[in-house]
Structure 1
């Protein structure tokens, strides 16, 4: 048995067959060129929520599906459906490009989606992302069941979910253990100056099991430490990386701009050698400003369907550039599969 507490991967507590990847019928590229989404009205100290909404709105496969209104046209769910709520918000955001809108549909559900939300905390963005994605997953499954479908596949699984493989060998009897964990985001613990590729490589190396994982051999029933190797069995179409400083006593002065590539090659981290490339392209960066324990402000950079970078700071949306987007104190990085 393995506990993933403190590990690189944030697990999804749903069963998954490790031999099958989620169905993939998605358009990963934009179906049409659209202007950037609208600015979001500033209400309270919840910029960490608004930046996640902006990055999700500019996630091409999610936007393609939501703008088609395929779900909302057939949804028969009673009560609140997160698929419908977010879809309505995304349609409004693109319809009112150049203007300012109130994301009331989503934010009105904040206490239900994310009961532990505390405005201004640096970790609020990743918490809100996880809550929204899980709500989308459940709404999609409920809708499919109402339509007579029995599949456990969902739009969220197709877009955001991958599977990590932990390979462990028992030092006592030599038994090989393969443990599979689904994930929707990677937690990369960074050390100043941060470097996502370096830190990701460090985590994927063969390491000595310590406080992060507990190993019990199913064959000889012994427990103890073992070397293990972590690789990816399946990668998601959209890869979300949570760049988390190792030093918990972080202040505005100690947070530094970090290095993260525009094009990320994940092929070296796969469980099985593959002839195909595993390339991802950056399209979203959330940034923490005034990083403090009890108060922070977030803004983001997004790459639009026109291949231009924009900076989105609450109600302000401005044209930016690639260089600026790649030189930030990033907290969340959004990558989409490009090959």
Structure 2
């Protein structure tokens, strides 16, 4: 459905750039952070939201007496600056680093950190900032302490709108056929790698049914006894942008799984859906990939691949150095000791954010 607002009142639209994205300075073991920022800036729904300054504009009005920016204000301005920069420019993540306690209190400047862990903290912190602003907006509207330009506006929970999905964990008694269902909201999927040679294989194992039997029988409330049961995970609601973490690090002090894990540019989750007749089917296209080169999470180097979908061109973002790449280069990372850690897929048919996002 087309927006009812006049074209002049629409927020700025994200447009894939037709040249290389700006590089990001490495300010001392900040490659993990730079890689995450490059992928976030290449995420279309989030990029559009940040260009419109939707959050920071509202945040100032809802919390006029607050001196410091919140986590989402910081991220929004950083991403908007990356998107507005000239092709081939060089930017700095200094503001994000100075505000690191807003995202992850235990992260320290100059220390190598885990890219996936940082991404999770960023998403969680920004989602919390949105929830806080929604609560503040409601309180201000109820007390009459906000202007007409703020009253009646909704708050877009952009992280949930972009990355949010839901898993359904189902246990089915094999005697009475009764079902117990539990829903969990997700922002990504983490895949175990032992026994898998590809992302498709790891996903199949993740959603494969498990039989609860023997010493692991299920306590069925209907049968009022221990019974054999089938336990299975389903995708209940597919996210607009699917982030997959490949769990290459084994435990806190464990080593790294450098084994080749094959992945493709297209990913179909139809077989994983709880509703098999869902339309449209959740078919995803790869647009971002974070790679780790090294032997442990506390050492080595991170870099990212991002795709300019307008010209079907991949770029390798290695801190300040950005170069042309190709899908062949991205997919061949599975053959190197530089192992992909994070994959970002977008579902073209599912990317329909609320009207005020576009």
TM-score, normalised with respect to structure 2: 0.77
Partner of 2:340: 330
Change in Cα spacing, 1:299 to 1:257, as seen in structure 2 (3 Å) is farther
- Select the structure that is richer in helix: 2
Runs ≥4 residues deviating over 6 A: 149-153
In 2: Cα distance, 1:218 partner to 1:224 partner: 10
Q: 1:142 aligns with which of 125, 128, 132?
A: 132
Report SS of the residue matched to 1:117.
coil
More deviation in 216-225 or 283-292?
216-225
Change in Cα spacing, 1:85 to 1:246, as seen in structure 2 (3 Å) is closer
Residues 230-263 of structure 1 show CA distances to partners (whole Å, capped at 9, x for unaligned) of 1111011010000113856435xx6144211101
Residues 36-93 of structure 1 show CA distances to partners (whole Å, capped at 9, x for unaligned) of 4311111112311211111001101100111122222232332332222111111211
In 1: Cα distance, 2:323 partner to 2:134 partner: 39
In 2: Cα distance, 1:91 partner to 1:69 partner: 8
Q: After TM superposition, give the deviation of residue 174 of structure 1 in Å.
A: 4.7
Report SS of the residue matched to 2:187.
strand
Change in Cα spacing, 1:304 to 1:215, as seen in structure 2 (3 Å) is farther
Q: 2:118 aligns with which of 109, 128, 134?
A: 128
Q: After TM superposition, give the deviation of residue 101 of structure 1 in Å.
A: 1.4
Q: 1:100 aligns with which of 90, 96, 102?
A: 90
Change in Cα spacing, 1:63 to 1:215, as seen in structure 2 (3 Å) is farther
Report SS of the residue matched to 2:332.
coil
In 2: Cα distance, 1:168 partner to 1:246 partner: 30
In 2: Cα distance, 1:221 partner to 1:303 partner: 54
Q: After TM superposition, give the deviation of residue 109 of structure 1 in Å.
A: 2.1
More deviation in 70-79 or 166-175?
166-175
Residues 182-207 of structure 1 show CA distances to partners (whole Å, capped at 9, x for unaligned) of 11110111137730001101121111
Q: After TM superposition, give the deviation of residue 214 of structure 1 in Å.
A: 10
In 1: Cα distance, 2:197 partner to 2:105 partner: 31
Partner of 2:103: 113
The unaligned stretches of length 5 or more in structure 1 are 1-29
Q: Which one has the largest radius of gyration?
A: 2
Partner of 1:21: none
Partner of 2:299: 295
Residues 1-339 of structure 1 mapped to structure 2, 5 A cutoff:
31-34=14-17, 35-76=19-60, 77=63, 78=66, 79-96=68-85, 97-117=87-107, 119-121=111-113, 124-148=114-138, 154-170=157-173, 174-191=177-194, 194-208=197-211, 217-219=220-222, 226-245=229-248, 249-251=254-256, 255-274=258-277, 275-306=279-310, 307-328=312-333, 329-339=339-349
Q: After TM superposition, give the deviation of residue 319 of structure 1 in Å.
A: 1.0
In 1: Cα distance, 2:165 partner to 2:227 partner: 28
The number of aligned residues is 304
Partner of 1:3: none
Report SS of the residue matched to 2:159.
helix
The unaligned stretches of length 5 or more in structure 2 are 1-12, 139-151, 334-338, 350-358
In 1: Cα distance, 2:54 partner to 2:298 partner: 41
How large is the RMSD of aligned CA atoms in angstroms? 2.7
Report SS of the residue matched to 1:327.
helix
